Structures are given as structure tokens and as C-alpha cells.
Amino acid sequence: MRKFWIVTMASLGLAVLSATAESMTMDQAVTEALAANIGLSAERIKLGTKERDKNLAYNRLYPSISAGAQILSLNNPEAYNVPVAAVTPAGQTVGSIRYYTPDATNLGVTISAQFALSAASILAIRQTAIDYDDESIAYEIARQRLTRDVKKLFFQLLVIQETIKVNRMQLDNAAERYRQALLNADNGSVPELTVLSAKVAWENKKPALDDLTTAYDQTLFGFESLLGREPDSSLVLEGTPDIAIRGKLPDAKELTADYLERRLDV
């Protein structure tokens, strides 16, 4: 009797742990994975690099402009006087020369623009644009693949949870049959062989439950790796594995005609 009491207390401990653990829905899992997944973050960085290269490549279409300025200041303006005319007053034979004194300060500004365009530069610009488009497609494929994998593991974990519940019910039923067999054997209503058979059936169901628990832990570890978080065995998933099919089943030819062009790899 003590063994059955221990199993009941263990179940109560799991229930208390589930009540205090963090819960997560499928939409929350997808959102967290898209924000923190390491592989998707690497693709996002590559996309940013290609976008920067594309923007820099288009700088070749802008002209190269250079500007300069100079200022000239004369220390002795009178030394640079320039004769402009000879003047002889009326009634005199000796005239005088008129001089022009230049400005003491002169300012000069020069501006030049150069535009170089060749077939090689145009091809380089086109190649960077193609590389950016390729990386954009690769990033979108990685994002959709991550979303698919997260949803797939989420439903897989829900299925394993339901399977564990069923196996625990079967184990409890086998334990109850073993307990009834012990009571009937004490009353002398059943032979010892019936007790041993019930015990063997009970013990045989324990490894299957242990295997399911191990499979759940391994799948949960992979699921949390996709989310980019540390392993947490107390994480509780909220949802149901029941998927209702609405309407008739889709036709393969119609799906191919409608959605084939949406495939990014195509």
C-alpha cells in the first residue's frame, strides 16, 4: 500500500509544479523564436550587410565634386601700380602718368564636378542589387522555416503530453488491478498467479511511461533551442492538439496552381 501512496504524492508534486511554471501559447512561441532565434538573427545580419552594400553601390551614380578657394593679400599695393594713361596739361610740354593701384585683397573660388560611368560600374551595381534580393529571399525562407518548425514541435509536444496522460491513466489502472488482486488473494478468492500477472502487467507499463517522459524532455530541449532560450523543463504549453478540418479536403492540382508561384525558392 505504501507504494501506491508514493505514486499519488508524486502526481501531486507534478501538479503543483505545473501550477507555478511559466506557460506559453503557440503564437507566443512563434513571436519569441522570430525575435531571438540565433540562426534567424544571423540571416538578419547578412541581409543588413547586403542592403548596406547595395546602398553604397548606388553612390557611384553621384558625381564627384571638388571645391577650392584662395585669398591674395598684397603687402605693398603701391609696388604693383599699373600705368593706365599719360596726361599733359594744356600749355605744358611735360606731362604726368596716371597709375592704377590694384585692390590689396583678392578672393578666388574654384568648383569642379566629375561624373564617371562605365559598363563595369553598372554591372557591379546590378550585382549588388541581385545579391540583396537573394539574401532577402533567403531570410524570408529562414523565417518561414523557423515558424513551421516551431509550430511542428509545439504540436508534437502537445501530442506527447496527451500520450503521457493516457499512459499514466493506464499505469494507474494497472496499479489498481494489482491492488485488487492483492486484496482478493488475501481473501483467498484468486490464486497467487493472478496477483503475479497483475504485478507484471503493472511493471511492464512503467518503462513505456519513462520513454515518453524522456522523449518529451528531448523534444522540449529542441523546442526551447529554437526559441533561443535556456532549457527550462518546467515550461507548460497551452493549447490542444485537436485540429478541425474545415470543409472538404483540398485538391492537389488546385493548390499547385494557386500557390506554386508563392514559393520563394521557385
pLDDT tens figures, 188-202: 888 888 888 988 998
Look at residue 51 and tell me whether its pLDDT is greater than 60.
yes
Q: Assess contact for 190 and 135: CB atoms under 8 A.
A: no
Q: Assess contact for 209 and 171: CB atoms under 8 A.
A: yes
Q: Assess contact for 238 and 25: CB atoms under 8 A.
A: yes
pLDDT, mean of residues 102-115:
77
Q: Would you state the pLDDT for residue 20?
A: 61
Look at residue 239 and tell me whether its pLDDT is greater than 90.
no
Q: Assess contact for 138 and 70: CB atoms under 8 A.
A: no
pLDDT tens figures, 112-169: 887 777 777 788 888 999 999 999 999 999 999 999 999 999 999 999 999 999 999 9
- 33 CB contacts (<8 Å, ≥6 apart)? 40, 146, 147, 150, 226, 227, 228
**Mean pLDDT value across the chain:** 81
Q: Would you state the pLDDT for residue 15?
A: 46
Q: Would you state the pLDDT for residue 64?
A: 80
Higher pLDDT, 63 or 154: 154
pLDDT, mean of residues 223-233:
89
58, three cell numbers: 548606388
Fold of 2-59+117-241: Outer membrane efflux proteins (OEP) (1.20.1600)
When pLDDT is cut at 50, 70 and 90, the band that residue 7 belongs to is very low
When pLDDT is cut at 50, 70 and 90, the band that residue 100 belongs to is low
Q: Would you state the pLDDT for residue 62?
A: 74
Look at residue 13 and tell me whether its pLDDT is greater than 70.
no
Look at residue 47 and tell me whether its pLDDT is greater than 90.
yes
Look at residue 265 and tell me whether its pLDDT is greater than 60.
yes
pLDDT, mean of residues 10-18:
45
Q: Would you state the pLDDT for residue 6?
A: 36
DSSP state of 66: E
Higher pLDDT, 265 or 19: 265
Look at residue 5 and tell me whether its pLDDT is greater than 50.
no
Q: Would you state the pLDDT for residue 10?
A: 41
Helices (H), the chain: 2-20, 26-36, 38-57, 119-187, 192-227, 252-259
* CA–CA distance, 164 with 172 (Å, rounded to integer): 12
* CA–CA distance, 69 with 247 (Å, rounded to integer): 79
pLDDT, mean of residues 65-73:
83
pLDDT, mean of residues 225-239:
88
pTM attached to this predicted model:
0.63
